[in-house]
Structure 1
Amino acid sequence: MRREDITYLGAGPAALPTDVLAIAAEALQNYQDTGLGVAEHSHRSELANNILNSMKADLASFLDIPSDYEILLMQSGGSGQFDATIYNVVNIWVEKQRQKIVKEQGDIGEDALVQELKKKVDSELRLDYLASQEAVRLLGPEHVNIASDARKVNDGKFGKIADESTWQLSPKPAMVYMCENETVDGVEYPAFPKVLEPKGTEDDYLVVGDFSSTILSRRIPVKDYSIIFFGAQKNLGCAGVTGVIIRKNLLPPTLPSTSPTLLRKLGLPIAPTVLDYGVTAKNNSLYNTLPIFDVFLAGQVLKKLIATFPDKVDGQQAVAQKKADLIYGSLDAYPNVYKVVPETSVRSRMNICFRVTKGGDVDEAEKAFLKGAVERGLTGLKGHRSVGGIRASNYNAVAEAGAEKLAAYLKEYAEA
């Protein structure tokens, strides 16, 4: 089957624009007439630095990232960055507490300082999550607060976002983590939570946002976040590089790093060097061998987006919404055949999750639906292994014609 015959709707890694792949294929063999492919050049070379700096500049331009934020390119994927935020934020929290104690009590000596910090760690160190289990594994349940659990308002299942009035936020958490789009059940925050909006005081929440599934598809209120991270493999490129956008005032030299010795004395985890934001920023994301081909590919995706949308991310957001509305419209037109998983107000534009109920036997109906889809060149529609069902991932590389093709099949299957 030819590439142009396929509309790939898998949840990730996602499809890439064909013309970008053509450029990448040529660059893999001979980049800029150097006789070497882009993946073979040293990450320390001027060529690699140019690729990296160009990609960062285009990302900042497309998303309108303010100048007081630093862009880091790292590895380890979204899962690794989830851990990295814990390591780094705990470091940030301890350093702020250390500075506060020294300011209030002067030079109190190392042993006394450790004792004061231990008291604060035991009584005050809390990381708030709007969903998480991994944080408990790294820090222990005593330092993790699940501020909101959607399952409590949805019969033990995901598919909703609990009203902000029910959130149980800690008084002064070290951070609040939110995954902006959940891919398994197709739930997306429609807007930044009002309760977390900064007020310009020292009590503002340090909010960490995971944008792995929606990066480049919608405008981000960057100033509302302290740290944003995202894997590349949904809308930006291929797996292997992960982006981090972080306030510069959370990085050295503005905010020094707490010494590993002090963190050990406090019984707190220490960030591996490759996950340390301060080290990464100091070395322009080149402390270790960054996969330059992955950065180059992401850069080409950005150049295509910038050339396509003069209004930058707002233009891509409008297209993403148009495609999502088309698909959801077809699903809603046949309520006896399709059941969309999340409630309407929190439907993801990127991961459209639904069940096929035609004929009463859901398993058989979905097998038939998937078989027919593949026959029509609609692939990657099988839902996550943990919940089953159907999942159409509407990432940026899915053309409007692809969304129209899926909408037409939804109608055809329902009326057959």
Structure 2
Amino acid sequence: MKRARNFNAGPAALPLEVLQRAQNEWLNIEDSGMSVMELSHRSSEFEKIHNHAIQSLKDLMEIPENYEVLLLQGGASLQFSMIPMNILKDGKRADYVLTGSWSEKALKEAKKVGETAVVASSKDEQYTFIPKVEDIKLNDDAAYLHITSNNTIYGTQWKDFPETGNNIPLVADMSSDILSKKIDISKFGIIYAGAQKNLGPSGITVVIIRKDLITDNDKIPSMMNYSIHSKNNSLYNTPPTLAIYLLSLVLDWAKEQGGVEKIAEINEEKAKVIYDAIDGSDGFYKGHALPDSRSLMNVTFTLPSKEAEVQFLKEVKQAGFVGLNGHRSIGGCRASIYNAVPLSHCQDLADFMKKFQESYKATEAQTL
């Protein structure tokens, strides 16, 4: 079978090696005589898988001892509510930086819980850039500062993170760029990420949280309470066992690639190939994001006309590329080049873009 060149924004491409290993273990995991989906989540076999996934993430991201890793459900969208419910105390305000649709949604949910404030935004400029760190003015009574580290829809990404100190935790939605580059975990109070872009399949959400932010509060519903999940090693209720198993395999694969630093090198090379095709097109392709805010995970661009975009998307699909339509809210085109997308697929896309430009211009010239 010929594998698709998959540029979907999420659920996204998984490493071929991971899928092959899962296939080999499909009917008999850990010599149990069962598939992972049939294991009890209280069994020793699954406990081994579960704890291996958590430890692997700690190793890869160099997570300090004063942080806990939780494996939760509900997607990153549930964290929009869980975070303020757990750490937005009375008399405090939650500060938000708006850089796209997902940060808007996070703010919307926080407003239902308590006081909020927008301390920086690029909305008026169609989210084409990330606000400068020095332009963020935190409130003295801020409970936390929330950012979205990478914006899948608009193709922008934070290059540097605000320094907030321990008293104002920095909270980051890293759903679309976690494990794509090395970061200093100690700068953050909470990092959360849906797995379905860089970590595995949909159905599991990783939360990396500083332990002092996990406090007992019996007014919070149990499933929304970090303390409950922490005390139960993320096994308070039946977890998505298959998703956690695949998460553990993806993390093993990441180690085999050389870890986060090596993955980051490859990601930079992949992005450069496609951005070079855009920048070298004499304006035929136009990137949405300003150059200093460009994402290494989601390359967003437009063509000279709607007709050209329709033709491009038709032909690129016929050529075996998948998932290049821009988000429905803004249109255009988008190549999501997460960790599992091979460099060769990015090179193939860049080659296609150059050939399409030549053929489209030639066709236009003939009709004049």
TM-score range, shorter chain: over 0.9
1:289-312 per-residue CA deviation (whole Å, 9 max, x = no partner) reads 011111110111111111121xx2
Counterpart pick for 1:67 among 65, 68, 71: 65
Offset of 1:39 from its aligned partner?
A: 0.8
**Structure 1 residues 392, 289: CA separation in 2 closer, same or farther (over 3 Å shift)?**
same
Determine whether 1:257 maps to 2:229.
Answer: no
Secondary structure at the residue paired with 1:174?
A: strand
- State yes or no: 1:314 paired with 2:261: yes
SS in 2 for 1:176: strand
CA distance in 1, matches of 2:278, 2:110: 41
Matched, 1:243 2:190: no
Q: Which has the larger radius of gyration?
A: 1
> For the structure 1 residues 249 and 401, does the alpha-carbon distance in structure 2 shift closer, same or farther, using more than 3 Å as the test?
same
- The 8 Å contact of residues 128 and 173 in structure 1, kept in 2 or not, is answered as yes
**Is 1:369 the counterpart of 2:338 in the alignment?**
no
Match of 1:54 in 2: 52
Structure 2 unaligned spans of 5+: 99-103, 360-368
Q: How does 1:45-194 map to 2 (within 5 A)?
A: 45-90=43-88, 93=89, 121=90, 124-131=91-98, 132-140=104-112, 143-152=115-124, 154=125, 157-193=126-162
Is the 1:192–1:221 Cα contact (8 Å) retained in structure 2? no
| Aligned residue identity for 2:330 | V
Counterpart amino acid of 1:369? Answer: F
Asked if 2 retains the 8 angstrom alpha-carbon contact of 1:176 and 1:206, the reply is: yes
Q: Deviations over 1:87-117 (max 9, x none)?
A: 1112xx3xxxxxxxxxxxxxxxxxxxxxxxx
Which stretch shifts more, 369-378 or 132-141?
Answer: 132-141
2:195–2:206 Cα contact (<8 Å) kept: yes
Residues 306-326 of structure 1: CA distance to partner in whole angstroms, max 9, x if unpaired?
1121xx211100100110011
4+ residue stretches of structure 1 with deviation over 4 A? none
Q: Residues of 2 paired with 1:7 and 1:249: CA distance?
A: 43
How far has the Cα of 1:197 moved from its partner?
4.1
- Supply the distance in 1 between the matched residues of 2:74 and 2:274 (Cα, whole angstroms): 33
Cα deviation code 1:102-141 (max 9, x no counterpart): xxxxxxxxxxxxxxxxxxx3xx320011123444455459
User: Given the alignment of the two structures, is residue 18 of structure 1 paired with residue 11 of structure 2, yes or no?
Assistant: no
| Paired-residue identity, % | 35
For the 8 Å contact 1:241–1:295, the answer to whether it is kept is yes
Is 1:8 the counterpart of 2:6? The answer is yes
Quick one: which amino acid aligns to residue 166 of structure 1? D
- Matched with 1:403 is 346
Q: Distance in 1 between matches of 2:48 and 2:274?
A: 40
What TM-score, normalized by structure 1, do the two folds share?
0.82
> Post-superposition shift, 1:37?
0.6
* Distance (whole Å) between structure 2 residues aligned to residue 75 and residue 142 of structure 1: 23
**Matched length:** 354
Query: Cα 1:20–1:134, aligned 2, differ >3 Å: closer, same or farther?
Result: closer
Contact 1:28 1:39 in 2 (8 A): no
Residue identity in the other structure for 1:13: P
Structure 2 CA distance for aligned equivalents of residues 18 and 367 of structure 1: 30
CA change 1:162–1:231 in 2 (3 A) is same
Would the alpha carbon gap of residues 285 and 160 (structure 1) be closer, same or farther in structure 2, given more than 3 Å must change? Answer: same
Work out the CA distance in 2 between the residues paired with 1:137 and 1:54: 33
Match for residue 251 of structure 2? 302
Report the AA paired with residue 226 of structure 1: G
Mark the runs of 5 or more structure 1 residues left unpaired by the alignment: 94-120, 261-269
Q: Which residue of 2 aligns with 1:267?
A: none
Aligned partner letter, 2:307: E
Shift in CA distance, 208/134, structure 1 to aligned 2, threshold 3 Å = closer
TM norm structure 2: 0.92
